[in-house]
Amino acid sequence: MQTTQPIRIDINGIMQETVGPRGLTREDLTTLPIAAAFEGLKAKRGQMRWRELPHNQTEIVADLEATAADIRAKFENFVVLGIGGSALGPIAVHQALCHLRYNELPAAKRGGPRLYVEDNVDPERMAALLDVIDIEKTMFNVITKSGSTSETMSQLLIITDLLRKKLGEDISTHIIATTDAEKGNLIKIAGREGWKTFYVPDGVGGRFSELCPVGLLAAAVCGVDIRALLVGAAAMDARSQSENLFQNPACLLAAAQVASMRKGCNIHVLMPYADGLKYVSDWYAQLWAESLGKRYGNDGSEIYAGQTPVKALGVTDQHSQVQLYTEGPFDKVITFLGVDEYRTTTPIPAGYLDIPDVSFLCGHTQNELIAAEQAATQYAVGKSGHMYSVITLPVLSAHTLGQLLYMFEVMTAFAGELLQLNAFDQPGVEEGKNATYALLGKPGYDAMRAELAAAPAPNPAYII
């Protein structure tokens, strides 16, 4: 089911008119440095190459589609080796736009290879993957822009070793590399080995990379209309050009979140009411946390900025988290993510008519039930004085998902401008990477090894 209708946002649940004195006023929004943030967004567009992805990939999309068709014809499995944005985006799009039990369908119904995204280095995970796939019938897509991502490269070393034992030295028919076009380790390896290669454009960081080959290849392999994804993103890009805050959905949401932070809401809960959107929350959590969690502002001052993203799923987490959201502290703002029309209608048949607590459901549909549950939870949250916003997709399709992902990316960039920080680096992540390199003996990390060795020893009194 496809639609080109625009997604909608509603921030009434953040405003005082709805939630009372703990909510925002219009002045809370308009007194933010909105004009400067719009100017910064416009000035930096050339550096934010991810903003051009909806417009400049015609030839790349054709190559992706041809490659995907070849993979569908020849392989039973498609495995992504990657972590962070290289994994979370493909997972989110697959869950949203493919059958919810995709891998369990018979091949004829599935229409493409099973998809596995290996985004961790738990040794049991790799062993489990190898128990369920035949590597001779599997295409592997290794994704790392730098080629120095330890987790991904460890996976690649394991897989190439196994493939060579099965196929001999030439394993080029089973591996596709997605990496930087010119620099880094993976492009050197791919060139040496003769692997098919797709490129991550300059200016496109991992968490902003889903709408380039990083995410589009896996989507195309599984039958997703990647052109519709990009058309949807382009439609949101057009809406995101407006410098009228109240006509720009991405920037209005960003302003509402930043103003909420100023009110002490340091936690942002994203709660989709569709299983297809469940892993959009995981993808968004990286985007928001890694972009805005910064110690230093643009002027070098310590600001310790950021808002903690929390994942929830409606209706499931009404039974595990909503008690906290309605009666807990006023340190959260909740974004409900819903759809107008589900892609399936599931009637609730008549039965147990003598039990009123059950029979009232008869004659309704699960579609009506989940919509009522979302509306009721929004009401309960607002009645308790807690802030919330609502994002609604007319239907979950490639076009509307493209709109949603792109909107969240622009929202994040605009929030960075409002907070006057660099939303596109991740120095805190680099610190952990460097410590890992030192612990595993990577050359050039002697100083870090010395620093780790000099760290205070654990106090035995606190170990039981």
- Catalytic residue (choose from 59, 124, 169, 319): 319
Cα 276 to Cα 9, 84, 233, 247: the distances in Å are: 19, 20, 18, 28
Can 151 be counted among the known catalytic residues? no
Q: Give one word for 385, left, alpha or beta, with left for phi > 0 and alpha for psi -120 to 50.
A: left
Q: Is residue 143 helix, strand or coil?
A: strand
What is the rounded CA–CA span in Å between residue 154 and residue 141? 14
| 430 carries an active-site annotation | no
- Tokens matching residue 395: 């239907």
Secondary structure (3-state) at 225: coil
DSSP assignment, residue 335? E
The answer to whether 166 is a known catalytic residue is no
Specify which residues 187 forms β-bridges with: none
Nearest Cα residue to 179 out of 207, 202, 211: 202
The tokens 């098919």 sit on which residue? 196
Query: Which residues, other chains included, contact 256 with Cβ-Cβ below 8 Å and sequence gap of 6+?
Result: 11, 14, 24, 29, 333, 389
Spatial strand order of the sheet with 196-199 comes to: 114-118, 77-81, 138-143, 175-179, 196-199
Token pair for 208: 């902003």
Q: Count Cβ neighbours within 10 Å for each residue of 334-355 and write b for 16 or more, e otherwise.
A: bbbbbbeebeeeeeeeeeeeee
Of the candidates 118, 290, 409, 417, the residue annotated as catalytic is 290
> Which residues are the active-site residues?
290, 319, 433
